[in-house]
């Protein structure tokens, strides 16, 4: 097991000893007065107060997105704060702790200016990589991250633009907070292809290969809830609505894509057990101990094992082989191995003839099924499909995903 720490360096809690708005530490022995308590606090420069020349001094300070309980740290005004955080960055990736990296919360908004933020993350990287060259630096970022991924700041990001968002629109037509449904985006393979092509260019290949590919997380609705196409939040619809009308078979399709698309598939606890939930805070429900969706749990075990079994899924090239309304196919390939992944998100089976030669698959190969999920469940039972003139002919069940591996023509052929 490896461990990555969550570095929330943009802000702290109002109860933190540096601020002490709740006056928890004020009269405790061994503590300095917090910045909220006294203008003479040693932590005063850690925050941006907006009424420095008035009394009382503690009324107005900068909060993250205006939240008073999350006072924003003021790095530009405090070299002491900057040096402290850089020491923390190196400390935890060093012996005896040896953690394996940092996930950086709202990283692009650390300071009050982009120029400062770039300077800081360069220093942060130097501190971390000097202490532990193998530690990963993974940032939360929703926009184009290319300016941060030049090799001297972050290693990669939580992959919203080139994974979570396009995948969610394609399979469910839903926005990632469940705030909107767009019928025109559901099943539109061409828009999916264009979105992925554009957003993946923002990454250098090493950053893309380790990008954090999630379907759900602590900030957005559960993917399983999105499969219902239901727009709203828990305060509007109630908690039970999050589990009504859900489509586990659609989620299994999306998980197959998660395990076969370039990047690092990252599972949000409970997704593997069938947990539902609208966006934050409903998405943070406890794990359903003793009440797991057993089929979904076993499906995740097997599809994760498949991902680990084929290195071409982590390091291979990608080529879109075809797509149309509610269906998509792509190849993952390298010099030694080639795979084809197909999705049918329709309510009926479809017959497909697909050119696969552009993924390096030759006519002396046969494509053998290694994994399939359908409305009824999933299977790893082998089945083989011949190639004729560089084309694959296959029947895809309704609401299915199929993973095929190119192998020498040595197995019985499905007629």
> Which of 287, 267, 260 is CA-nearest to residue 370?
260
pLDDT per residue, tens digit, the chain (415 aa), is: 999 999 999 999 999 999 999 999 999 999 999 999 998 999 999 999 986 555 444 458 999 998 999 999 999 999 999 999 999 999 999 999 999 999 999 999 999 999 999 999 999 999 999 999 999 999 999 999 999 999 999 999 999 999 999 999 999 999 999 999 999 999 999 999 999 999 999 999 999 999 999 999 999 999 999 999 999 999 999 999 999 999 999 999 999 999 999 999 999 999 999 999 999 999 999 999 999 999 999 999 999 999 999 999 999 999 999 999 999 999 999 999 999 999 999 999 999 999 999 999 988 899 999 999 999 999 999 999 989 889 999 999 999 999 999 998 765 555 4
pLDDT computed for residue 388 by the predictor: 87
pLDDT computed for residue 52 by the predictor: 57
pTM (two decimals): 0.94
pLDDT computed for residue 213 by the predictor: 98
- C-alpha 284, offset from chain centre: 16
pLDDT computed for residue 220 by the predictor: 98
Cis before 96? omega within 30: yes
Partners of 353 in beta bridges: 393
The answer to whether 275 touches 351, Cβ cutoff 8 Å, is no
Extended strands (E) in 105-245? 136-139, 156-157, 212-213
- Give the up-direction half-sphere exposure of residue 364: CA atoms within 13 A in the CB hemisphere: 0
pLDDT computed for residue 66 by the predictor: 87
Q: Provide CB contacts within 8 A for 357, sequence distance 6+.
A: 390, 391
- C-alpha 25, offset from chain centre: 37
* Long-range Cβ contact pairs of 15-23 (< 8 A, separation 24 or more): 16/71, 17/43, 18/43, 18/46, 18/47, 19/43, 19/46, 19/47, 19/61, 19/71, 21/58, 21/68, 21/71
């Amino acid at each position: 097991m490896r461990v990555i720490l969550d570095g929330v360096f943009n802000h702290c809690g109002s109860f933190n000893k540096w601020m002490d708005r709740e006056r928890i530490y004020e009269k405790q022995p061994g503590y300095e007065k917090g910045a909220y308590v006294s203008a003479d606090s040693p932590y005063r420069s850690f925050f941006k107060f907006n009424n420095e020349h008035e009394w009382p001094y503690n009324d107005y300070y900068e909060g993250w997105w205006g939240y008073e309980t999350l006072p924003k740290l003021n790095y530009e005004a405090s070299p002491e704060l900057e040096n402290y955080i850089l020491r923390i960055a190196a400390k935890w990736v060093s012996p005896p702790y040896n953690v394996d990296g940092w996930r950086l919360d709202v990283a692009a908004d650390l300071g009050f200016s982009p120029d400062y933020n770039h300077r800081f993350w360069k220093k942060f990287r130097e501190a971390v990589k000097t202490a532990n060259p193998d530690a990963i630096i993974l940032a939360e970022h929703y926009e184009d991250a290319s300016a941060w991924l030049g090799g001297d700041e972050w290693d990669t990001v939580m992959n919203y633009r080139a994974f979570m968002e396009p995948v969610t629109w394609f399979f469910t037509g839903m926005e990632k907070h469940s705030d909107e449904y767009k019928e025109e985006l559901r099943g539109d393979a061409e828009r999916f292809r264009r979105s992925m092509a554009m957003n993946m260019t923002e990454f250098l290949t090493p950053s893309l290969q380790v990008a954090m590919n999630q379907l759900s997380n602590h900030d957005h609705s559960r993917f399983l809830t999105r499969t219902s196409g239901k727009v709203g939040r828990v305060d509007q619809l109630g908690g039970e609505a999050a589990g009504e009308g859900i489509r586990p078979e659609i989620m299994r399709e999306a998980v197959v894509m998660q395990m076969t698309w370039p990047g690092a598939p990252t599972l949000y606890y409970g997704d593997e057990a069938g947990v539902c939930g609208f966006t934050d805070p409903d998405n943070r429900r406890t794990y359903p101990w003793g009440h797991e969706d057993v089929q979904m749990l076993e499906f995740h075990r097997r599809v994760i094992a498949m991902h680990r079994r084929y290195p071409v899924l982590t390091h291979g090239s990608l080529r879109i082989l075809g797509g149309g309304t509610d269906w998509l196919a792509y190849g993952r390939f390298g010099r030694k191995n080639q795979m084809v992944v197909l999705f049918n998100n329709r309510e009926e089976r479809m017959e497909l003839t697909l050119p696969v030669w552009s993924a390096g698959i030759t006519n002396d190969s046969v494509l053998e099924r290694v994994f399939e999920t359908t409305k009824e469940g999933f299977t790893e039972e082998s089945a083989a499909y011949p190639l004729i003139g560089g084309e694959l002919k296959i029947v895809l069940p309704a609401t299915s995903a199929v993973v095929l591996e190119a192998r020498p023509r040595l197995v019985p052929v499905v007629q």
